């Protein structure tokens, strides 16, 4: 079984910086590479990036000039995934393992279209409270990765073992999931409720941590996901909702999810991956989802104002 010795990361947002900085400190700068387009490489060389006040020491190169990676991590926004695949093509060899840290439930399917299902380890990033403003990342809780494969294919199982050995060697917090698809839907449920409510109410994690209308609205949106999940054959329960709300309660009250950070920066968000996907799947099954419909409308309304600036 080939050991993972080098990591390539696509995306220098909050999670890209968080894990990039972690791996540089664990396995050394020479074994960690960021891949980006020409514009982002130039911006990085000029401005750099910072993690908890310290300037990061990263290797960053233009896509197409990199060597194949043992582990390839996608940490871009969902809206940029298909574009970022082009940058990563040279990173994938026969034994490359691919992880996606993206929100939502569809990134693995998209990556499988390009690279093949055999490379993918299904992944959920949860529990981190990373906030990135400009080129500066701040976090107090690194969270963990939940990882697994959706079937018993021998190659996928071997790749999962390779990833777990690497995480053990670097002391990265993770949990192996027997039912990784349920875990992905559970985390997506949290994003659908909490991220969108915080965006609409222009708040922080405190908005959904304190008892009141914000927390109840988030739960209502999450219960609509439970209904859709069951129609899709994924057995989410109320206890899954309560478990993830308990997780959200551990986050920095003054922190905020990436969707709210997008709103502050007047960037278009991943609303189509959240309520947009809920609406699409609910329509397929004839399920009414009024809370997500209204959240989708409000977020699209907020973002439409960007064009008038």
pLDDT of residue 308: 57
Span 226-256, pLDDT tens digits: 999 999 999 999 999 999 999 899 988 998 8
Averaged pLDDT of the chain: 94
Give the Cα separation of 233 and 260 in Å (integer): 31
pLDDT of residue 301: 95
pLDDT of residue 78: 82
Q: Which of 79-88, 212-221, 254-263 has the highest mean pLDDT?
A: 212-221
Q: How many degrees, rounded to 5, is the angle at CA 131 between CA 125 and CA 132?
A: 110
Stretch 110-138: mean pLDDT, rounded?
92
- The Cβ-side half-sphere exposure at 98, using a 13 Å CA radius, reads 26
Stretch 271-276: mean pLDDT, rounded?
94
pLDDT band at 271 (very low <50, low <70, confident <90, very high): very high
pTM comes to 0.85
Give the Cα separation of 97 and 106 in Å (integer): 18
Residue 129 has pLDDT above 90, yes or no: no
Nearest to 151 by CA among 141, 159, 143: 159
> Is-contact 29 7, C-beta < 8 A?
no
Span 58-74, pLDDT tens digits: 999 999 889 999 999 99
Q: Three-state DSSP class for 43?
A: helix
Can you tell me which residue has the tokens 């990061």? Answer: 56
């Amino acid at each position: 079984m080939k050991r993972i010795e080098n990591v390539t990361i696509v995306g220098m947002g909050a999670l890209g910086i968080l894990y990039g900085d972690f791996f540089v400190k664990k396995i050394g700068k020479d074994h960690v590479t960021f891949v980006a387009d020409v514009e982002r490489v130039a911006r990085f060389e000029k401005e750099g990036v910072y993690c908890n006040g310290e300037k990061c020491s990263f290797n960053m190169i233009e896509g197409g000039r990199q060597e194949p990676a043992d582990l390839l991590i996608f940490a871009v926004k969902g809206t940029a995934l298909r574009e970022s695949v082009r940058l990563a093509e040279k990173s994938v060899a026969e034994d490359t393992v691919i992880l996606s840290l993206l929100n939502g439930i569809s990134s693995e399917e998209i990556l499988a279209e390009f690279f093949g299902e055999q490379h993918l380890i299904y992944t959920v990033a949860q529990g981190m409270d990373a906030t990135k403003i400009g080129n500066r990342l701040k976090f107090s809780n690194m969270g963990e990765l939940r990882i697994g494969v959706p079937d018993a294919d021998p190659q996928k199982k071997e790749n999962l073992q390779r990833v777990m050995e690497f995480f053990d060697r670097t002391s990265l917090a993770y949990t192996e999931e027997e039912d990784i698809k349920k875990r992905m839907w559970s985390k997506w449920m949290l994003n659908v409720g909490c991220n969108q409510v915080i965006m609409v109410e222009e708040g922080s994690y405190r908005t959904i941590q304190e008892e009141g209308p914000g927390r109840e609205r988030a739960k209502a949106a999450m219960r609509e996901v439970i209904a859709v999940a069951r129609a899709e054959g994924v057995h989410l329960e109320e206890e899954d909702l309560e478990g993830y709300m308990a997780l959200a309660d551990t986050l920095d009250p003054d922190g905020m999810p990436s969707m709210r950070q997008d709103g502050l920066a007047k960037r278009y968000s991943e609303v189509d991956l959240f309520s947009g996907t809920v609406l699409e799947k609910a329509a397929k099954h004839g399920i009414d989802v009024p809370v997500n419909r209204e959240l989708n409308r409000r977020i699209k309304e907020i973002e439409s104002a960007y064009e008038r600036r």
